[in-house]
Structure 1
Amino acid sequence: MNWSQLFTSSVGKKITMALSGLFLVAFLLVHAGLNACIWANDGGVMFNVAAHFMGANVVPRVLEIGLFVFFLLHIIQGLALEIQNRSKRKVGYAIPMGNRGSKWYSRAMGILGSIILIFLVIHLIDFWIPSRFGGLGQMYIDMSTHQIVDAGTPGAKEFHDLYGEMLYKFTSYPWISVVYILGVIALFWHLVHGIQSAFRTFGVTNHKYINILTVVGWSFAIIVCGAFILMPISFLAGWIS
């Protein structure tokens, strides 16, 4: 298979979908770990310091470019496969197979992916764009004590207050929390199918390994998506402030 076939053939599309999907799974794990810093309940000190590290160092910024490339590749190839599959089967089964043929979420990957895309656009507008191009408040932290201090305090370092933006958006605009939770629910089902499907693409067909990958997929989706959903809930419920 040459490079052009990797992006144009049916098998090539599935391979690029699997590769980009696994890269995005790794990103989700890092992102969930970063977001977990909010539960330090220290006014956002740990989270803002961690977010600053991810945004100010060369390696994470280079990986961020790769992340956007893989996002676009995953979306484009996913849409191409969905259109291709629908065009091949214009007439459905005489008797609907339901979950006997495949799980509903595997048949709804196109819809789930579209919901995730809408959620991603809203998420970027609300948080990523302000963090990269301005619009956030500032927080000053004494790095020797990791305490929030006033501007001009000796030893204080200035950070973008992304934590404060999250607190404001989730509590002031409940619809953002609702959209966030719905987007993560769609992501959950996307991951449940996508993780084991990616390894099937690479030739894993042994039932023993498929069962293991299914458990891994469910476990990963529950832990990571559970952490994401708990974020807006924690702000709305006042568990953190």
Structure 2
Amino acid sequence: MSWVTKTFSSTLGRKLLMALTGLFLILFLIGHVSGNMLLFKDDGGQAFNEYAKFMTTNPAVKILSYLTYISIIGHVVVSIILSAKNKKARPVNYADSKAGTNSTWNSRNMGVLGTIVFIFIVVHLQNFWAQMHWGAIPMVTYEGGEFKDLYSVVNLAFSNIGLVALYVIAMAFLGFHLYHGFASAFQTLGLNHKKYTPAIKFIGSAFSIIVPAMFASMPLYIYFSTLN
């Protein structure tokens, strides 16, 4: 058995893998929300469509995309394994565990929050990623170049109030998941220090509010724009 197998077959190793994949996905969220902010640009979708083409054709971005898929799957699978082991270790719930005084609601429900976020990711991929690659998307021309009009697909999707509500609710759950997960990842990596930990917790708290809010603002903006 190699040292890699030994490491990631242990509880500590799995927590390390959770932390590393979690931090990678946090970086992905920063890039993803930054690009999607182009939806707010009043240019008929040109900037967003050009960005979408770049993200789906650039070789370096493709490699990062595969790493993202692997990280999502790894994060979910390891989370399930850790949750199952924790439940097995404590099969009986104590009548007076006082869980609320010993941990936050977020930390006690990371598995549930993560599951909801994962379901949302599947829906998101079906609505946009699968459409981008295999859907019958109209083409537009900018300066002699042809682009898939994913902007029109996004606008059509977010004209549905049910889908908008799903995205907003999912972003709230993502915020709760990030609130605990951000600081927890640094703690797992041993980056605890009385001088730096408060700053990490502050950044994590801000990140868990700002990024999900930015994502949620997009479907809301598009939906209410279609009403005008």
TM-score using structure 2 length: 0.94
State whether structure 2 residue 78 is matched by structure 1 residue 61: no
1:189 match: 176
State whether structure 2 residue 217 is matched by structure 1 residue 237: no
SS in 2 for 1:158: strand
State whether structure 2 residue 148 is matched by structure 1 residue 160: yes
Aligned residue type for 1:174: I
Match of 1:175 among 135, 150, 162: 162
Deviation string, structure 1 residues 37-63 (Cα, Å, up to 9, x no partner): 111121111111111111111000111
Match of 1:217 among 192, 198, 204: 204
Offset, 1:93: 3.2
SS in 2 for 1:43: coil
Query: Following the alignment from structure 1 to structure 2, what is the Cα–Cα distance between the partners of residues 98 and 216?
Result: 26
Deviation string, structure 1 residues 123-173 (Cα, Å, up to 9, x no partner): 00000011122322212112xxxxxxxxxxxxx2111111110100110x2
2:53 match: 52
State whether structure 2 residue 83 is matched by structure 1 residue 82: yes
Are residues 240 and 203 of structure 1, via their aligned partners in 2, closer, same or farther at CA, if it must alter by over 3 Å?
A: farther
Aligned residue type for 2:156: Y
TM-score using structure 1 length: 0.89
User: Identity rate of aligned residues, in percent?
Assistant: 33
2:103 match: 102
SS in 2 for 1:205: coil
1:71 match: 72
* 5+ long unaligned stretches in structure 1: 143-155
SS in 1 for 2:192: coil
State whether structure 2 residue 195 is matched by structure 1 residue 208: yes
Match of 1:198 among 182, 185, 200: 185
SS in 2 for 1:140: strand
SS in 2 for 1:238: helix
Of 128-137 and 203-212, more deviation after overlay is shown by 203-212
Query: Following the alignment from structure 1 to structure 2, what is the Cα–Cα distance between the partners of residues 61 and 176?
Result: 27
Offset, 1:215: 0.6
| Contact 1:234–1:240 (CA under 8 A) maintained in structure 2 | no
2:129 match: 128
Query: Following the alignment from structure 1 to structure 2, what is the Cα–Cα distance between the partners of residues 6 and 198?
Result: 17
Offset, 1:240: 10
1:149 match: none
- Number of aligned positions between the proteins: 227
| Contact 1:41–1:240 (CA under 8 A) maintained in structure 2 | no
SS in 1 for 2:34: helix
